[in-house]
Structure 1
């Protein structure tokens, strides 16, 4: 399993639109084959910055999701909200203390 972290910076006028879109689509994202967890975070000091954390079984699961029509449509919509280039990382989770 690995974690995908995506940082997105949005125009403030689109924050509510982004949150509504995410709320509408979150279950479909989370139920994509291989996705084990999906979380959305908003920076406490800069409300324009959001992060998604998703846990995936295999890299091929993430790639299948990223190549889906659903992702392409969602990402196209999301890109219209950006005020800066998004950043993304795929990381291995080494330690987790519940």
Structure 2
């Protein structure tokens, strides 16, 4: 399993619009094959910055989602709201070493 982290920054006037898009589509994304978790976070000091964290069974599942009509429609509606280029990371989830 791995984690996909996406940092997005929106014009403040579009935050409510982005939030509505996410609320409407989040269950569809969560139900994508291989998606185990999808969460949205908002920065505490800069409310224009959001992060999505999604857990995927494998990289192919993420690629299948990224090539789906669902992703294409969500991304088309979302990317026009950005005030900065999004950043994304794919990271391995590690077991705690306690």
- Per the alignment, do residues 96 and 10 of structure 1 end up closer, same or farther by CA in structure 2, a change over 3 Å counting? farther
Root-mean-square deviation (CA), in Å?
1.1
The 1-side partners of 2:17 and 2:28 are apart by: 18
Matches within 5 A, 1:19-98: 19-96=19-96
Can you list the C-alpha shifts for 1:15-74, whole angstroms capped at 9, x where unaligned?
Answer: 000001100000000010000000000000000000000000010000000000110111
The 1-side partners of 2:45 and 2:95 are apart by: 27
The 1-side partners of 2:32 and 2:82 are apart by: 24
| SS of equivalent residue, structure 2 residue 83 | coil
| SS of equivalent residue, structure 1 residue 64 | helix
State the Cα distance separating 1:95 from its structure 2 match.
2.8
In structure 2, the gaps of 5 or more residues are: none
Report the TM-score, using the length of structure 1 for normalisation: 0.96
| SS of equivalent residue, structure 1 residue 44 | coil
Report the TM-score, using the length of structure 2 for normalisation: 0.96
